Amino acid sequence: MHRRDFLKTTAIASTLAPLAHTQSLATAQEKNPKVQELRSRIKPISNEDRQARLEKAQRLMGEQGIDALLFDAGISLKYFTGISWGRSERLFAMILPKNGKPQYVAPKFEESRAREQVGNASLLTWEEDESPYKLVRQILQDNHMLTGLLGIEETTRYFVTENIAKEISTIKHVSATPVTAECRSVKSPHEIELMQIADDITAEVFKASIPQLREGMTEREFGSIISKEFSEFGVGGGALVLFGEASAHPHGLEKQHTLKEGDIVLVDGGCSVEGYASDVTRTTVFGKPTDKMKNVFEIVLKAQSAALAVARPGIPAEDIDAAARKVIVDAGYEPDYKYFTHRLGHGIGMEGHEWYYLVRGNKRPEKVGETHSNEPGIYIVGEFGIRLEDEMLITENGAKLLLPQAESLEKIFS
Protein backbone atom coordinates (compact mmCIF):
# COMPACT_ATOMS: atom_id res chain seq x y z
CA MET A 1 0.00 0.00 0.00
CA HIS A 2 1.38 3.37 -0.94
CA ARG A 3 1.43 6.00 1.77
CA ARG A 4 -1.17 8.20 0.07
CA ASP A 5 -3.51 5.21 -0.19
CA PHE A 6 -2.92 4.48 3.49
CA LEU A 7 -3.73 8.06 4.46
CA LYS A 8 -6.88 8.02 2.36
CA THR A 9 -7.97 4.73 3.94
CA THR A 10 -7.36 6.08 7.41
CA ALA A 11 -9.39 9.21 6.70
CA ILE A 12 -12.30 7.22 5.29
CA ALA A 13 -12.28 4.80 8.22
CA SER A 14 -13.32 7.67 10.45
CA THR A 15 -15.40 5.68 12.89
CA LEU A 16 -14.90 2.40 14.67
CA ALA A 17 -15.33 -0.41 12.17
CA PRO A 18 -17.74 -2.90 13.76
CA LEU A 19 -16.58 -6.49 14.03
CA ALA A 20 -18.55 -8.87 11.86
CA HIS A 21 -19.71 -11.04 14.74
CA THR A 22 -19.67 -10.99 18.52
CA GLN A 23 -17.73 -14.25 18.29
CA SER A 24 -14.96 -12.46 16.38
CA LEU A 25 -14.56 -9.92 19.19
CA ALA A 26 -14.50 -12.69 21.79
CA THR A 27 -11.81 -14.50 19.80
CA ALA A 28 -9.76 -11.32 19.48
CA GLN A 29 -10.06 -10.62 23.21
CA GLU A 30 -8.88 -14.13 23.98
CA LYS A 31 -5.90 -13.68 21.67
CA ASN A 32 -4.99 -10.26 23.07
CA PRO A 33 -6.46 -9.07 26.40
CA LYS A 34 -5.59 -5.50 25.37
CA VAL A 35 -8.53 -5.52 22.92
CA GLN A 36 -11.17 -5.20 25.62
CA GLU A 37 -9.12 -2.77 27.72
CA LEU A 38 -8.50 -0.37 24.84
CA ARG A 39 -12.03 -0.54 23.45
CA SER A 40 -13.49 0.15 26.89
CA ARG A 41 -11.69 3.53 26.96
CA ILE A 42 -13.36 4.81 23.79
CA LYS A 43 -15.91 7.58 24.38
CA PRO A 44 -17.55 9.21 21.34
CA ILE A 45 -17.45 12.95 20.75
CA SER A 46 -20.67 14.41 22.18
CA ASN A 47 -23.12 16.95 20.78
CA GLU A 48 -22.00 19.28 23.57
CA ASP A 49 -18.40 18.98 22.33
CA ARG A 50 -19.49 19.92 18.82
CA GLN A 51 -21.58 22.84 20.02
CA ALA A 52 -18.52 24.19 21.82
CA ARG A 53 -16.57 23.88 18.56
CA LEU A 54 -19.20 25.86 16.66
CA GLU A 55 -19.14 28.57 19.31
CA LYS A 56 -15.34 28.77 19.15
CA ALA A 57 -15.55 29.05 15.36
CA GLN A 58 -18.01 31.92 15.69
CA ARG A 59 -15.70 33.72 18.12
CA LEU A 60 -12.84 33.37 15.66
CA MET A 61 -15.09 34.56 12.82
CA GLY A 62 -15.72 37.72 14.81
CA GLU A 63 -11.99 38.25 15.25
CA GLN A 64 -11.35 37.69 11.53
CA GLY A 65 -14.28 39.82 10.37
CA ILE A 66 -15.89 36.85 8.60
CA ASP A 67 -19.68 37.00 8.36
CA ALA A 68 -20.39 33.37 7.46
CA LEU A 69 -18.61 30.11 6.72
CA LEU A 70 -19.54 27.62 4.02
CA PHE A 71 -18.70 23.95 4.50
CA ASP A 72 -18.85 21.45 1.68
CA ALA A 73 -19.22 17.79 2.71
CA GLY A 74 -15.94 16.62 4.26
CA ILE A 75 -13.85 16.25 7.39
CA SER A 76 -14.31 19.80 8.68
CA LEU A 77 -18.09 19.44 8.38
CA LYS A 78 -17.87 16.24 10.41
CA TYR A 79 -15.61 17.91 12.99
CA PHE A 80 -18.12 20.66 13.69
CA THR A 81 -21.36 18.70 13.28
CA GLY A 82 -20.74 14.95 13.30
CA ILE A 83 -22.32 14.74 9.84
CA SER A 84 -20.84 12.22 7.41
CA TRP A 85 -21.87 12.95 3.84
CA GLY A 86 -20.16 11.73 0.70
CA ARG A 87 -19.11 14.34 -1.83
CA SER A 88 -20.78 14.33 -5.23
CA GLU A 89 -21.84 16.82 -7.88
CA ARG A 90 -24.99 17.47 -5.80
CA LEU A 91 -24.37 20.12 -3.16
CA PHE A 92 -24.80 19.29 0.51
CA ALA A 93 -23.50 22.20 2.56
CA MET A 94 -23.64 23.95 5.90
CA ILE A 95 -23.67 27.72 6.25
CA LEU A 96 -22.55 28.95 9.67
CA PRO A 97 -23.34 32.65 10.35
CA LYS A 98 -21.19 34.59 12.80
CA ASN A 99 -24.25 34.78 15.04
CA GLY A 100 -27.00 32.20 15.23
CA LYS A 101 -27.37 28.56 14.30
CA PRO A 102 -26.03 26.65 11.30
CA GLN A 103 -28.30 26.08 8.30
CA TYR A 104 -28.09 23.34 5.70
CA VAL A 105 -28.71 22.85 1.99
CA ALA A 106 -29.42 19.35 0.62
CA PRO A 107 -30.98 17.63 -2.40
CA LYS A 108 -34.75 17.20 -2.01
CA PHE A 109 -34.65 13.47 -2.72
CA GLU A 110 -32.11 13.10 0.12
CA GLU A 111 -34.22 15.08 2.60
CA SER A 112 -35.04 12.15 4.88
CA ARG A 113 -31.40 11.07 5.15
CA ALA A 114 -30.29 14.66 5.63
CA ARG A 115 -32.88 15.21 8.34
CA GLU A 116 -31.54 12.18 10.21
CA GLN A 117 -28.20 13.93 10.47
CA VAL A 118 -29.12 17.60 10.95
CA GLY A 119 -31.90 16.99 13.47
CA ASN A 120 -34.08 20.04 14.04
CA ALA A 121 -31.70 22.47 12.32
CA SER A 122 -32.90 24.59 9.40
CA LEU A 123 -32.73 22.52 6.20
CA LEU A 124 -33.43 23.92 2.73
CA THR A 125 -33.81 21.46 -0.13
CA TRP A 126 -33.62 21.72 -3.90
CA GLU A 127 -35.13 19.66 -6.70
CA GLU A 128 -32.98 18.21 -9.47
CA ASP A 129 -33.93 20.99 -11.91
CA GLU A 130 -33.22 23.75 -9.37
CA SER A 131 -30.02 25.48 -8.28
CA PRO A 132 -28.79 24.82 -4.73
CA TYR A 133 -26.81 28.04 -4.95
CA LYS A 134 -30.01 30.07 -4.91
CA LEU A 135 -30.65 28.51 -1.49
CA VAL A 136 -27.18 29.56 -0.33
CA ARG A 137 -28.08 33.06 -1.47
CA GLN A 138 -31.39 32.88 0.40
CA ILE A 139 -29.68 31.88 3.64
CA LEU A 140 -27.14 34.69 3.38
CA GLN A 141 -29.84 37.19 2.44
CA ASP A 142 -31.98 36.16 5.42
CA ASN A 143 -28.92 36.80 7.61
CA HIS A 144 -28.23 40.19 5.95
CA MET A 145 -24.88 38.98 4.62
CA LEU A 146 -25.02 39.47 0.87
CA THR A 147 -22.26 42.09 1.02
CA GLY A 148 -20.07 40.60 3.73
CA LEU A 149 -17.17 38.15 3.85
CA LEU A 150 -17.90 34.48 3.18
CA GLY A 151 -15.25 32.10 4.48
CA ILE A 152 -14.75 29.07 2.22
CA GLU A 153 -13.39 25.90 3.85
CA GLU A 154 -10.15 25.07 2.05
CA THR A 155 -11.14 21.68 0.63
CA THR A 156 -14.34 23.01 -0.97
CA ARG A 157 -14.48 22.03 -4.64
CA TYR A 158 -13.85 24.79 -7.19
CA PHE A 159 -17.20 24.39 -8.93
CA VAL A 160 -18.98 25.06 -5.62
CA THR A 161 -17.10 28.31 -5.08
CA GLU A 162 -17.51 29.30 -8.73
CA ASN A 163 -21.28 28.77 -8.68
CA ILE A 164 -21.67 30.73 -5.45
CA ALA A 165 -19.72 33.60 -7.00
CA LYS A 166 -22.00 33.56 -10.05
CA GLU A 167 -25.12 33.54 -7.88
CA ILE A 168 -23.90 36.14 -5.35
CA SER A 169 -21.56 38.63 -6.98
CA THR A 170 -21.78 41.06 -4.06
CA ILE A 171 -20.15 38.87 -1.44
CA LYS A 172 -16.38 38.51 -1.06
CA HIS A 173 -14.82 35.07 -0.65
CA VAL A 174 -12.01 34.58 1.87
CA SER A 175 -10.23 31.55 3.26
CA ALA A 176 -11.87 29.90 6.27
CA THR A 177 -8.56 28.32 7.29
CA PRO A 178 -7.82 30.90 10.04
CA VAL A 179 -11.00 29.62 11.68
CA THR A 180 -11.12 25.92 10.82
CA ALA A 181 -7.41 25.23 11.30
CA GLU A 182 -7.28 27.10 14.60
CA CYS A 183 -10.20 25.03 15.87
CA ARG A 184 -9.00 21.66 14.63
CA SER A 185 -5.27 22.03 15.34
CA VAL A 186 -5.63 22.53 19.10
CA LYS A 187 -6.93 19.29 20.56
CA SER A 188 -9.14 18.91 23.62
CA PRO A 189 -8.29 16.33 26.31
CA HIS A 190 -11.04 14.13 24.85
CA GLU A 191 -9.51 14.29 21.37
CA ILE A 192 -6.05 13.56 22.76
CA GLU A 193 -7.40 10.50 24.56
CA LEU A 194 -8.93 9.16 21.34
CA MET A 195 -5.61 9.71 19.56
CA GLN A 196 -3.81 8.00 22.43
CA ILE A 197 -6.08 4.97 22.08
CA ALA A 198 -5.47 4.89 18.33
CA ASP A 199 -1.71 5.00 18.99
CA ASP A 200 -1.94 2.29 21.65
CA ILE A 201 -3.85 0.05 19.26
CA THR A 202 -1.26 0.69 16.55
CA ALA A 203 1.55 -0.29 18.91
CA GLU A 204 -0.23 -3.55 19.80
CA VAL A 205 -0.81 -4.30 16.12
CA PHE A 206 2.84 -3.69 15.25
CA LYS A 207 3.96 -5.95 18.12
CA ALA A 208 1.62 -8.71 16.92
CA SER A 209 2.55 -8.35 13.25
CA ILE A 210 6.35 -8.17 13.26
CA PRO A 211 6.81 -11.80 14.45
CA GLN A 212 4.75 -12.91 11.41
CA LEU A 213 7.41 -11.74 8.93
CA ARG A 214 8.52 -14.60 6.69
CA GLU A 215 11.22 -14.82 4.04
CA GLY A 216 9.77 -14.55 0.54
CA MET A 217 6.60 -12.68 1.48
CA THR A 218 5.77 -9.49 -0.40
CA GLU A 219 5.22 -6.05 1.07
CA ARG A 220 1.55 -6.33 0.14
CA GLU A 221 1.20 -9.67 1.92
CA PHE A 222 2.64 -8.27 5.13
CA GLY A 223 0.40 -5.23 4.78
CA SER A 224 -2.60 -7.58 4.69
CA ILE A 225 -1.46 -9.18 7.94
CA ILE A 226 -1.28 -5.76 9.58
CA SER A 227 -4.76 -4.81 8.33
CA LYS A 228 -6.15 -8.06 9.75
CA GLU A 229 -4.58 -7.32 13.13
CA PHE A 230 -6.23 -3.88 13.15
CA SER A 231 -9.59 -5.46 12.35
CA GLU A 232 -9.30 -7.62 15.46
CA PHE A 233 -9.42 -4.41 17.49
CA GLY A 234 -12.56 -3.41 15.62
CA VAL A 235 -10.94 -0.48 13.83
CA GLY A 236 -10.11 0.42 10.26
CA GLY A 237 -6.36 0.55 9.78
CA GLY A 238 -3.49 -0.30 7.49
CA ALA A 239 0.15 0.33 6.76
CA LEU A 240 2.71 1.21 4.16
CA VAL A 241 5.27 -1.62 4.17
CA LEU A 242 8.73 -1.26 2.62
CA PHE A 243 11.35 -4.01 2.37
CA GLY A 244 15.04 -3.63 1.67
CA GLU A 245 16.06 -0.97 -0.85
CA ALA A 246 12.45 0.22 -1.15
CA SER A 247 12.81 1.68 2.35
CA ALA A 248 15.20 4.27 0.88
CA HIS A 249 12.18 5.88 -0.80
CA PRO A 250 9.93 7.50 1.85
CA HIS A 251 6.67 6.59 0.07
CA GLY A 252 7.98 3.42 -1.54
CA LEU A 253 8.11 2.28 -5.15
CA GLU A 254 5.57 0.79 -7.56
CA LYS A 255 7.44 -2.52 -7.70
CA GLN A 256 6.61 -5.05 -4.99
CA HIS A 257 9.64 -6.30 -3.04
CA THR A 258 9.97 -9.72 -1.43
CA LEU A 259 11.54 -10.13 1.98
CA LYS A 260 14.98 -11.65 2.30
CA GLU A 261 17.45 -12.18 5.12
CA GLY A 262 19.08 -8.95 6.26
CA ASP A 263 16.45 -6.64 4.81
CA ILE A 264 15.34 -3.48 6.53
CA VAL A 265 11.58 -3.56 7.19
CA LEU A 266 9.89 -0.14 7.43
CA VAL A 267 6.27 -0.09 8.58
CA ASP A 268 4.31 3.19 8.52
CA GLY A 269 0.74 2.66 9.65
CA GLY A 270 -2.18 3.63 11.78
CA CYS A 271 -5.87 3.41 12.41
CA SER A 272 -8.88 5.58 13.17
CA VAL A 273 -10.76 5.66 16.48
CA GLU A 274 -13.97 7.72 16.52
CA GLY A 275 -12.56 9.62 13.56
CA TYR A 276 -9.11 10.33 15.08
CA ALA A 277 -6.03 8.99 13.35
CA SER A 278 -2.77 7.47 14.48
CA ASP A 279 0.37 7.58 12.34
CA VAL A 280 3.34 5.57 13.57
CA THR A 281 6.50 4.36 11.84
CA ARG A 282 8.88 1.72 13.08
CA THR A 283 11.92 0.32 11.32
CA THR A 284 13.31 -3.12 12.10
CA VAL A 285 15.46 -5.68 10.31
CA PHE A 286 14.68 -9.22 9.18
CA GLY A 287 17.72 -10.98 10.53
CA LYS A 288 20.91 -9.39 11.79
CA PRO A 289 21.50 -5.65 11.24
CA THR A 290 24.76 -4.38 9.82
CA ASP A 291 26.88 -1.88 11.72
CA LYS A 292 25.86 0.78 9.20
CA MET A 293 22.17 0.07 9.81
CA LYS A 294 22.67 0.34 13.56
CA ASN A 295 24.61 3.59 13.21
CA VAL A 296 21.95 5.17 10.98
CA PHE A 297 19.23 4.07 13.39
CA GLU A 298 21.03 5.77 16.29
CA ILE A 299 21.35 9.01 14.34
CA VAL A 300 17.65 9.02 13.44
CA LEU A 301 16.69 8.28 17.05
CA LYS A 302 18.88 11.17 18.25
CA ALA A 303 17.26 13.45 15.69
CA GLN A 304 13.80 12.52 16.92
CA SER A 305 14.89 13.12 20.52
CA ALA A 306 16.42 16.49 19.60
CA ALA A 307 13.14 17.65 18.08
CA LEU A 308 11.23 16.47 21.14
CA ALA A 309 13.65 18.33 23.43
CA VAL A 310 13.11 21.73 21.79
CA ALA A 311 9.37 21.46 21.12
CA ARG A 312 7.34 23.69 23.44
CA PRO A 313 4.66 26.38 23.33
CA GLY A 314 5.81 29.52 21.53
CA ILE A 315 8.67 28.01 19.55
CA PRO A 316 8.41 28.52 15.77
CA ALA A 317 7.46 25.29 14.03
CA GLU A 318 10.52 25.53 11.76
CA ASP A 319 12.87 25.40 14.76
CA ILE A 320 11.67 21.91 15.64
CA ASP A 321 12.47 20.72 12.12
CA ALA A 322 15.85 22.46 12.33
CA ALA A 323 16.78 20.66 15.57
CA ALA A 324 16.27 17.23 14.02
CA ARG A 325 17.89 18.18 10.72
CA LYS A 326 21.02 19.48 12.46
CA VAL A 327 21.63 16.11 14.12
CA ILE A 328 21.47 14.33 10.77
CA VAL A 329 23.62 16.86 8.91
CA ASP A 330 26.20 16.98 11.72
CA ALA A 331 26.46 13.18 11.52
CA GLY A 332 27.64 13.52 7.92
CA TYR A 333 24.38 12.89 6.09
CA GLU A 334 24.44 16.15 4.17
CA PRO A 335 23.80 18.52 2.58
CA ASP A 336 20.44 19.48 3.96
CA TYR A 337 17.65 17.52 2.22
CA LYS A 338 19.90 14.98 0.44
CA TYR A 339 19.38 12.18 2.95
CA PHE A 340 16.63 13.56 5.20
CA THR A 341 14.47 14.30 2.20
CA HIS A 342 11.22 15.58 3.74
CA ARG A 343 9.95 17.91 6.47
CA LEU A 344 10.06 16.68 10.04
CA GLY A 345 6.33 16.49 10.59
CA HIS A 346 2.71 17.30 9.92
CA GLY A 347 -0.29 18.01 12.06
CA ILE A 348 -2.53 15.04 12.80
CA GLY A 349 -6.04 14.65 14.15
CA MET A 350 -9.13 13.73 12.16
CA GLU A 351 -6.88 13.54 9.11
CA GLY A 352 -3.56 11.78 8.83
CA HIS A 353 -2.06 15.01 7.48
CA GLU A 354 -3.49 18.34 8.58
CA TRP A 355 -2.35 21.70 9.96
CA TYR A 356 0.31 22.70 10.99
CA TYR A 357 3.56 21.53 9.44
CA LEU A 358 7.00 21.25 11.05
CA VAL A 359 8.95 22.57 8.10
CA ARG A 360 11.47 25.27 7.29
CA GLY A 361 9.71 28.55 6.64
CA ASN A 362 6.82 27.94 9.04
CA LYS A 363 7.39 30.56 11.71
CA ARG A 364 4.03 30.03 13.40
CA PRO A 365 4.48 29.59 17.18
CA GLU A 366 3.46 26.24 18.62
CA LYS A 367 0.40 26.11 20.89
CA VAL A 368 -0.53 23.88 23.81
CA GLY A 369 -2.68 21.00 22.59
CA GLU A 370 -1.30 20.83 19.06
CA THR A 371 -0.31 17.42 17.76
CA HIS A 372 2.30 16.66 15.10
CA SER A 373 4.17 13.73 13.71
CA ASN A 374 7.86 13.72 14.68
CA GLU A 375 9.37 11.62 11.89
CA PRO A 376 13.00 12.09 10.95
CA GLY A 377 14.58 9.69 8.49
CA ILE A 378 17.75 8.92 6.60
CA TYR A 379 17.32 7.46 3.11
CA ILE A 380 20.31 5.98 1.28
CA VAL A 381 19.18 5.20 -2.26
CA GLY A 382 20.39 1.79 -3.42
CA GLU A 383 20.79 0.54 0.16
CA PHE A 384 18.09 1.24 2.75
CA GLY A 385 16.19 3.88 4.67
CA ILE A 386 15.32 4.28 8.34
CA ARG A 387 12.45 6.41 9.63
CA LEU A 388 11.02 6.70 13.12
CA GLU A 389 7.65 8.38 13.57
CA ASP A 390 5.65 9.17 16.68
CA GLU A 391 2.84 11.57 17.41
CA MET A 392 4.01 14.50 19.52
CA LEU A 393 1.76 16.57 21.78
CA ILE A 394 2.68 20.13 22.73
CA THR A 395 2.16 20.51 26.49
CA GLU A 396 2.36 23.38 28.96
CA ASN A 397 5.97 22.53 29.79
CA GLY A 398 7.29 21.17 26.52
CA ALA A 399 6.20 18.19 24.49
CA LYS A 400 5.68 14.46 24.83
CA LEU A 401 5.31 11.50 22.51
CA LEU A 402 2.15 9.41 22.70
CA LEU A 403 4.16 6.17 22.51
CA PRO A 404 7.53 5.06 23.87
CA GLN A 405 10.34 5.66 21.41
CA ALA A 406 11.96 2.80 19.56
CA GLU A 407 15.05 1.55 21.36
CA SER A 408 16.84 -0.30 18.57
CA LEU A 409 16.22 -2.04 15.27
CA GLU A 410 15.34 -5.15 17.25
CA LYS A 411 13.28 -3.43 19.98
CA ILE A 412 10.74 -1.16 18.29
CA PHE A 413 9.17 0.10 21.53
CA SER A 414 11.37 0.89 24.53
CATH number at residue 219: 3.90.230.10
Compute the residue count for the chain: 414
* pLDDT of res. 31: 64
- Whether residue 14 is contained in a domain is answered as no
Specify the CATH number for the domain of residue 164: 3.40.350.10
- Whether residue 406 is contained in a domain is answered as no
User: What one-letter code names the amino acid at 23?
Assistant: Q
Count of domains observed in the chain: 2
229 and 109, same structural domain? no
- Whether residue 5 is contained in a domain is answered as no
159 and 270, same structural domain? no
pTM for this structure? 0.92
Q: Which pLDDT band holds residue 34 (cuts at 50, 70, 90)?
A: confident
- Whether residue 408 is contained in a domain is answered as no
Scored b (16 or more CB within 10 A) or e, 348-359 reads bbbbbbbbbbbb
Per-residue pLDDT tens over the stretch 245-292: 999 999 999 999 999 999 999 999 999 999 999 999 999 999 999 999
222 and 87, same structural domain? no
* pLDDT of res. 20: 40
270 and 247, same structural domain? yes
379 and 273, same structural domain? yes
pLDDT, mean of residues 141-146: 95
Q: Which pLDDT band holds residue 414 (cuts at 50, 70, 90)?
A: confident
Contact 299, 411 (CB under 8 A): no
- Whether residue 215 is contained in a domain is answered as yes
381 and 281, same structural domain? yes
* pLDDT of res. 380: 99
Per-residue pLDDT tens over the stretch 149-181: 999 999 999 999 999 999 999 999 999 999 999
* Mean per-residue pLDDT over the chain, rounded: 94
Is pLDDT at 21 greater than 70 in this prediction? Answer: no
286 and 396, same structural domain? yes
214 and 154, same structural domain? no
Structural domain that includes position 397: 186-401
Give 75-80 contacts, CB < 8 A, sequence gap 24+: 75/11, 75/14, 75/155, 75/350, 75/351, 76/153, 76/155, 76/180, 76/184, 77/153, 78/14, 78/275, 78/350, 79/50, 79/53, 79/180, 79/183, 79/184, 79/350, 80/50, 80/53, 80/54, 80/183
* pLDDT of res. 28: 59
Is pLDDT at 399 greater than 70 in this prediction? Answer: yes
274 and 240, same structural domain? yes
